[in-house]
Amino acid sequence: MKKYYAYCIPETKASGICDNWEECRKAVTGVEGARYRGFSTRSDAEHWITAGARYGTKKEMLPGIYFDAGTGRGNGVEVSVTDEVGKDLLSLVLPKKKINKHGKHLLSVGATNNYGELLGCRFALEVAVKKGIKRIYGDSRLVVDYWSKGYVKMEDVMPETIELALETATLRKEFQKRGGTIEHVSGAENPADLGFHR
């Protein structure tokens, strides 16, 4: 897995992002007060530098909309859409009766987790447009890299999944035309994560 290394030297205000540890090591070795940290995405590294290159016990999440789905409560697939601090946002796009007591949307029996992830992406797009937010994050590579772009193996999924993928792809294209992005984030770093598949 590709890693990015961000560094900052507060005294000189020098900073940068390296594609490998050796390059970063050369920039910080022997430099008093140098700070550095590894990240799984370049955008996370950029955000860390922009936010002051501070160390902390808890990762600071990038501002944006986050989505996930999970089955851990045993009642079926739940869909979660939150902001970077974990505040539930489904009430912005769904009526109250479609949101359970946990702030999530419970799908009907028989729905798959992947379908839930795709629906979460669609809801996240609707919330982002409504709030004027340009960044969306999800921890499903299948949804982020394929289904939300309309790339679905038609013979492998149910017709309703194909329909949802095509609708979501249309929303995503419009969102991206306006400067929006959808990026992958690990489940461990996703504030919308339901914790059911770790």
pLDDT at 117: 96
Q: How many CB atoms lie within 10 A of CB 6?
A: 23
The neighbouring-strand residues paired with 81 are: 67
DSSP 62: P
What are all long-range contacts of 165-172, with beta carbons under 8 Å and residues at least 24 apart? 165/118, 167/122, 168/118, 168/121, 168/122, 168/125, 171/122, 171/125, 171/126, 171/129, 172/121, 172/125, 172/148
Closest CA to 194 of 26, 79, 97: 79
Q: In what order do the strands lie in the sheet with 105-106?
A: 105-106, 78-82, 65-70, 135-138, 181-184
CATH superfamily, region 65-189? Ribonuclease H-like superfamily/Ribonuclease H (3.30.420.10)
Q: So what's the pLDDT on residue 1?
A: 60
Q: Which residue has the higher pLDDT, 21 or 198?
A: 21
Residues 58-92 have pLDDT tens digits of: 456 788 999 999 876 667 899 999 998 888 999 99
Cβ atoms of 27 and 16 closer than 8 Å: yes
Pairwise CA distance, residues 87 & 89, whole Å? 6
pLDDT reported for residue 137:
95
- Asked whether the whole model's pTM tops 0.75, one would answer no
The segment(s) of the chain belonging to CATH 3.30.420.10 are 65-189
pLDDT in tens, 133-192: 999 999 999 999 999 999 998 888 889 999 999 999 999 999 999 999 999 988 767 888
